[in-house]
C-alpha cells in the first residue's frame, strides 16, 4: 500500500506545472488531511511490535515526497518568473514614449520679455493690489470724482470706496508714497474694465512704468521706449510720439512703432500707414507729484502704460484677445520661448 501511494505521488508530481496544480498536489498528499498524514493515523491498527518500523517507513516517504514537492515548487516559481520576464521584455528598437512638455502662456512670455528689457535699464519690479481704493485708482492720479475721464474707465465697484483697479497706475502712487526719488519701477498686473469685444476684455494685463528723478524729460521716455521696441520687435523698429491726453501726465503722448511686418511701407497689419499704436505715456503731472509729497520744482518724471495683450497680439499675430483666456491647448502649444 505504501509503495503504491509513493508511485501515485511520483506520477502526480510529474504533472505539476503551475501554482494551481502544485496546490492541488499538496492538498491531496501532504496537507493535514492528505493521504500521507493519513498513514500515520492508521498506525494504531498495526500491531504494537511493528509500529516503529512502519512509522519509520511512513516518515521516510513523507520526507521524500516533501523534498520532491519543494523541488517542484521551485521549478514552478522559476518557470513563472521566466514567463513574466518574457512578457515584460522591452523592445529597445521601438521609439521612446515621450511626455508633452508644458510651456509658458503667451501673456507670461511677453510679460517676462518686457521685464527683461526694462530690468536691463535698471528698473525694479513692484506689485500693487488688484482691489484698489478710489483715492489711489483715480483721485490722487488727478482724476477727481467729477472728472469725465472716469467715464472711459467704467468698471467694477465693490463699494463706494473700493473697486477692481482699472489701471496699474495706482501703483505709481503707492511707490511714491513708500519711496522717494530716484525711482525707476515697473508695476505689472491684472486690471478690470466693463469692456468686451475682439480686441478688449473685461480683465486684461498692464505693465506700468515710472521714473522720477532730477531733470527727467519726454526725451528720456522716448529713449527708453526705443530700446524697448527694438528688443521686442527688431533692431530697426522706431517710435513716434503723438500728442494725447491723460490726466496723470502732462504733456501726454500716444506711442506708435514703425510696422515690423512691412518696415513702414504699409500693409494690412498697420492699416497701410506704416505705424502701429502700442502704448501711452508722458511726463508725470505736477499735481501727481505733489499728491505724493514730491517737489515738482526739484523732480520730474515720466510714466507709461503697456497693454500686455496688445503687445502679445502684435508680436504673435493673434487676432482675437479672447483666445488668450480660453485655455485651448491647440492655441497655447504654438508659443515657446
Distance separating alpha carbons of residues 245 and 326, to the nearest angstrom: 34
Which residues sit opposite 44 in a β-bridge?
Answer: none
To the nearest whole number, what is the mean pLDDT of the chain? 86
Q: Which three cell numbers stand for residue 195?
A: 469692456
Q: How confident is the model at residue 174 (pLDDT cuts 50, 70, 90)?
A: very high
Answer yes or no: are the C-beta atoms of 172 and 288 closer than 8 Å.
yes
Locate the domains of the chain by residue range.
2-87, 106-332
User: What CATH topology corresponds to 106-332?
Assistant: BirA Bifunctional Protein; domain 2 (3.30.930)
Least confident piece of the model among 85-99, 230-244, 250-264: 85-99
Query: Does the annotation list 250 as a binding residue?
Result: yes
What is the full DSSP assignment across 115-161? HHHHHTTT-EE----SEEEHHHHTGGGT--TT-GGGGGG---BSSSS
pLDDT at residue number 198: 67
Look up cell 503667451; give the residue.
106
* Residue range 139-164, pLDDT digits in tens: 999 888 877 766 666 678 899 889 99
* Residue range 67-106, pLDDT digits in tens: 887 888 888 888 888 888 888 877 778 787 788 778 899 9
Percent of the chain residues past pLDDT 90, beyond the cut:
45
pLDDT at residue number 32: 76
pLDDT at residue number 145: 81
Residues written for the chain = 337
Pinpoint the alpha helices (H) of the chain: 2-14, 19-25, 35-41, 51-87, 106-119, 134-137, 170-178, 218-233, 286-291, 308-316, 329-332
Q: Mean pLDDT across the stretch 174-191?
A: 95
pLDDT at residue number 36: 73
Q: Which three cell numbers stand for residue 2?
A: 505504501
**pTM for this predicted structure:** 0.68
Distance separating alpha carbons of residues 63 and 85, to the nearest angstrom: 33
Amino acid at each position: 500500500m505504501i509503495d503504491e501511494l509513493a508511485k501515485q505521488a511520483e506520477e502526480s508530481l510529474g504533472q505539476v506545472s503551475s501554482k494551481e496544480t502544485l496546490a492541488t498536489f499538496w492538498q491531496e498528499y501532504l496537507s493535514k488531511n492528505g493521504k500521507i498524514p493519513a498513514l500515520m493515523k492508521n498506525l494504531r491498527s498495526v500491531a504494537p511490535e511493528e509500529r516503529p518500523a512502519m512509522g519509520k517507513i511512513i516518515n521516510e516517504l513523507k520526507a521524500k515526497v516533501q523534498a520532491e514537492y519543494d523541488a517542484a515548487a521551485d521549478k514552478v516559481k522559476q518557470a513563472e518568473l521566466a514567463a513574466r520576464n518574457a512578457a515584460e521584455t522591452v523592445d529597445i528598437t521601438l521609439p521612446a514614449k515621450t511626455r508633452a512638455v508644458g510651456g509658458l502662456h503667451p501673456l507670461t512670455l511677453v510679460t517676462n520679455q518686457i521685464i527683461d528689457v526694462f530690468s536691463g535699464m535698471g528698473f525694479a519690479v513692484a506689485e500693487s493690489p488688484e482691489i484698489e481704493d478710489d483715492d489711489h485708482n483715480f483721485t490722487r492720479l488727478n482724476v477727481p470724482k467729477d472728472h469725465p475721464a472716469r467715464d472711459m474707465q467704467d468698471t467694477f465697484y465693490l463699494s463706494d470706496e473700493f473697486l477692481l483697479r482699472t489701471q496699474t497706475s495706482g501703483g505709481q502712487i503707492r511707490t511714491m508714497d513708500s519711496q522717494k526719488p530716484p525711482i525707476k519701477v515697473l508695476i505689472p498686473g491684472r486690471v478690470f474694465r466693463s469692456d468686451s469685444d475682439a480686441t478688449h476684455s473685461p480683465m486684461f494685463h498692464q505693465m506700468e512704468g515710472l521714473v522720477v528723478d532730477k531733470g527727467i524729460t519726454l526725451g528720456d521716455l522716448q529713449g527708453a521706449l526705443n530700446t524697448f521696441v527694438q528688443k521686442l520687435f527688431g533692431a530697426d523698429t522706431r517710435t513716434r510720439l503723438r500728442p494725447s491726453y491723460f490726466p496723470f501726465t502732462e504733456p501726454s503722448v500716444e506711442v506708435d512703432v514703425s510696422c515690423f511686418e512691412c518696415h513702414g511701407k504699409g500693409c494690412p497689419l498697420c492699416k497701410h500707414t506704416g505705424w502701429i499704436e502700442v502704448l501711452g505715456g508722458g511726463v508725470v503731472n505736477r499735481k501727481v507729484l505733489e499728491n505724493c509729497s514730491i517737489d515738482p520744482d526739484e523732480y520730474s518724471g515720466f510714466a507709461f502704460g503697456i497693454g500686455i495683450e496688445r503687445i502679445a497680439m502684435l508680436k504673435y499675430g493673434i487676432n482675437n484677445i479672447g483666445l488668450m483666456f480660453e485655455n485651448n491647448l491647440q492655441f497655447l502649444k504654438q508659443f515657446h520661448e
